[in-house]
Amino acid sequence: MSLLVVGSVAFDAIETPFGKTDKIIGGAATYISLASSYFTKKVNLVAVVGGDFPKTDIAMLQKHGVDTTGLQVKENEKSFFWSGRYHNDMNSRDTLVTELNVLGTFDPIVPEAYQSCQYLMLGNLAPSVQSTVIERMAKRPKLIVMDTMNFWMDIAMDDLKKTLSMVDVLSINDEEARQLSGDYSLVKAAKKIMAMGPKVLIIKKGEHGALLFNHEQVFFAPALPLEEVYDPTGAGDTFAGGFIGYLAHTNDISFDNMKRAIIYGSAMASFCVEKFGCERITNLHKKELEARVQEFVDLVQFEITLEA
Ligand code: AMP
């Protein structure tokens, strides 16, 4: 099934305890498109960049089968720029710079050829732009998944609540879930957030895995214990790309299949953090992915005999 991905395509500058990068390509939609391209060859991108964005990187996305007809290039403007510094634990980071540039006036045009997409992934972006994309789809997609971050909660909470009321699945991290709900308990937070619209909620907990909620059930996927984590940037988006890519590939949106999808998402994310930026997920083999999913299975599988 075809997938429409919307989100930032960006320049990032990253500092981790392992090193520092100058401007490298990043952005939520970049990570999502790349990750989902390992599952479906029908990835369609709606995003915007400035004239400073390298054509070679657009070609790299195309090489992964990503349709970039919906990628607007504003020749006389600058691409979105984000810079962040990770703390020693690698689970928390400070945003140093957010320059919206082209994103500040982004009008998301959905090409005619994308109108039949059945899966829609709203990557991190202004919530008003995310809801505009939903409104511009001739037919509501079968599944709408959304990601967001604290930045938008701070400056656009009303817009965010409107978008939340229109989506099926929300994917956020634990800190964001607490900020959005005002509750410290993630179980209470999940109930409050699902009352805002999404029927399914994913709460990512970095190296501590991810929780998948619907109104009746909870499922937990671990993160793979890795020896080296170089750069967690984009791990959440890569996770989301693996999640929705797997769902689009299998065309099954049951809760049981979502459990498998968050394992695939977690496996994709475990590759992302192994190198800076999106380098690792641009060079991945399907066999490596399957082997890693097997590692997840081995990690959590055990036999137990319960006494009466
Ligand atoms: P993650 O590490 O999964 O939270 O995603 C990091 C990516 O999100 C980076 O590549 C940034 O370019 C992008 N990003 C950071 N802040 C924003 C924002 N306010 N809006 C859209 N994308 C953002």
Which pLDDT band, with edges at 50, 70 and 90, does 227 fall under?
A: confident
Closest Cα to atom 15 of ligand 1: 82
Closest Cα to atom 5 of ligand 1: 234
Closest Cα to atom 20 of ligand 1: 125
Which pLDDT band, with edges at 50, 70 and 90, does 4 fall under?
A: very high
Rounded Cα distance between 172 and 178, Å, is: 10
* Chain segment 175-210, per-residue pLDDT in tens: 999 999 999 999 999 999 999 999 999 999 998 999
For residue 188, which phi and psi values (nearest 5 degrees)? -65, -40
Per the prediction, the chain carries an average pLDDT of: 96
- Mean pLDDT confidence for 278-287: 95
- Ligand 1, residue 80: give the atom nearest the CA: 12
pLDDT (0 to 100) of residue 91: 80
Centroid of ligand 1 to alpha carbon of 95 (angstroms): 10
* Chain segment 18-66, per-residue pLDDT in tens: 889 999 999 999 999 999 999 998 999 999 999 999 999 999 999 999 9
pLDDT (0 to 100) of residue 192: 98
Centroid of ligand 1 to alpha carbon of 28 (angstroms): 5
pLDDT (0 to 100) of residue 267: 96
- Ligand 1, residue 236: give the atom nearest the CA: 3
Centroid of ligand 1 to alpha carbon of 229 (angstroms): 18
- Ligand 1, residue 240: give the atom nearest the CA: 3
Closest Cα to atom 19 of ligand 1: 151
pLDDT (0 to 100) of residue 92: 85
Rounded Cα distance between 107 and 152, Å, is: 17
Residue 308 has pLDDT above 80, yes or no: no
Residue 90 has pLDDT above 90, yes or no: no
Closest Cα to atom 13 of ligand 1: 27
Closest Cα to atom 9 of ligand 1: 27
- Mean pLDDT confidence for 10-16: 96
pLDDT (0 to 100) of residue 89: 85
Closest Cα to atom 11 of ligand 1: 27
pLDDT (0 to 100) of residue 228: 85
| Residue 12 in contact with ligand 1 by CB distance below 6 A | yes
* Chain segment 69-83, per-residue pLDDT in tens: 999 999 999 999 999
- Ligand 1, residue 239: give the atom nearest the CA: 3
| Residue 82 in contact with ligand 1 by CB distance below 6 A | yes
pLDDT (0 to 100) of residue 7: 97
- Ligand 1, residue 124: give the atom nearest the CA: 21
